[in-house]
């Protein structure tokens, strides 16, 4: 379903490559398990079931986990009006609208497609941002839905789920004490554990790299749609700066969902290496928005 959001071939190609590499990694992973004689069918079926649940119910799961609730136009007329205008401008179906009662200033979008999408904002970001700044944030989130990268990120997490389940299976099913080829062979459990850790690490790095690029793509698409990159830059600066004023406990509760958020919620005193970050550095995002402002000025 096409929209007026600017297409991003870089994002599309990265999503395709990430899915291909994860699929190849998954095939190798299963092949190693079969070669070791591990009866992993039950675990794989369970992981597949979890993937289906996560894929088809991702919007409801995310809202529940982040304490969000859907709101009607009567409950949040200004927010609904803003999203109505952006959806008309982007020529896309209107997603469901939700608000999370949290002082952490943030927003996220989830859902497997445009018809099943939901956009959620926190009460903290509603209190802090001006209308034009909030418009930039919502345009950013709507572009995630239009680009379908939310669904790709949901599917990409499948291999990590499988690897984690296989590790637990190896540790708790007695495989750790068994040996391949008799007493002199290598312990099967240790091999499964090692392979699972490697698979999880590779899938983790691939999804993190995709996550950082998709945030830049969403900034670009949102800024071009609204034609106000400076408003989005102002929102980014304000939200990131106010994170330092949020209690550490609240930030730690939000950190597991950073990959979905508009801006990462990082507890004070923590430094995250760029290799493991879910978002590009603030300076990189502001630099891109400044470049877009100059391009629009020349136009």
Looking at the annotation, which residues are catalytic? 141
The first and second tokens of residue 212, run together, are 């950082």
The first and second tokens of residue 182, run together, are 């008799």
Q: What sign results for the dihedral spanned by CA atoms 60, 100, 132, 81?
A: positive
Closest-CA residue to 264 (of 248, 249, 247, 281) = 281
Could you give the CA distance from residue 254 to residue 276 in angstroms, rounded to a whole number?
17
Strand partners, 122: 100
Could you give the CA distance from residue 7 to residue 221 in angstroms, rounded to a whole number?
8
Could you give the CA distance from residue 265 to residue 250 in angstroms, rounded to a whole number?
9
Beta strands in the chain (DSSP E): 68-70, 96-100, 107-110, 118-122
Neighbouring C-beta atoms of residue 47, cutoff 10 Å: 20
Could you give the CA distance from residue 151 to residue 54 in angstroms, rounded to a whole number?
10
Strand partners, 50: none
The first and second tokens of residue 270, run together, are 């923590």
Could you give the CA distance from residue 110 to residue 257 in angstroms, rounded to a whole number?
11
The first and second tokens of residue 4, run together, are 């007026």
Residues 6+ apart with CB under 8 A from 229: 136, 223, 289, 290, 292, 293, 296
């Amino acid at each position: 379903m096409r929209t007026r959001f600017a297409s991003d071939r870089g994002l599309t190609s990265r999503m395709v490559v990430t899915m291909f590499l994860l699929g190849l990694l998954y095939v190798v992973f299963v092949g190693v398990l079969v070669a070791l004689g591990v009866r992993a069918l039950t675990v794989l079926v369970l992981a597949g079931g979890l993937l289906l649940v996560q894929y088809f119910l991702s919007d409801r799961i995310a809202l529940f986990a982040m304490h969000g609730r859907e709101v009607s136009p009567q409950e949040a007329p200004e927010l609904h009006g803003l999203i109505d205008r952006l959806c008309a401008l982007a020529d896309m179906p209107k997603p469901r609208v939700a608000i999370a009662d949290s002082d952490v200033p943030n927003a996220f979008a989830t859902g497997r497609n445009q018809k099943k999408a939901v956009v959620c904002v926190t009460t903290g970001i509603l209190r802090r941002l001006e209308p034009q700044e909030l418009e930039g944030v919502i345009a950013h989130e709507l572009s995630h839905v239009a680009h379908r990268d939310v669904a790709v990120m949901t599917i990409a997490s499948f291999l990590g789920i499988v690897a984690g389940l296989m590790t637990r299976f190896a540790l708790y099913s007695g495989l750790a004490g068994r040996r391949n080829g008799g007493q002199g062979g290598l312990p099967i459990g240790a091999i499964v554990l090692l392979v699972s850790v490697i698979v999880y690490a590779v899938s983790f790095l691939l999804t993190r790299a995709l996550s950082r690029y998709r945030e830049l793509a969403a900034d670009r698409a949102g800024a071009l749609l609204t034609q106000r990159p400076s408003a989005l830059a102002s929102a980014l600066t304000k939200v990131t700066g106010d994170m330092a004023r949020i209690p550490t406990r609240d930030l730690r509760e939000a950190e597991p969902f950073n990959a979905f958020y508009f801006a990462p919620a990082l507890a004070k005193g923590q430094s995250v290496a760029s290799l493991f970050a879910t978002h590009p550095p603030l300076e990189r995002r502001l630099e891109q928005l400044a470049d877009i402002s100059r391009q629009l000025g020349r136009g």
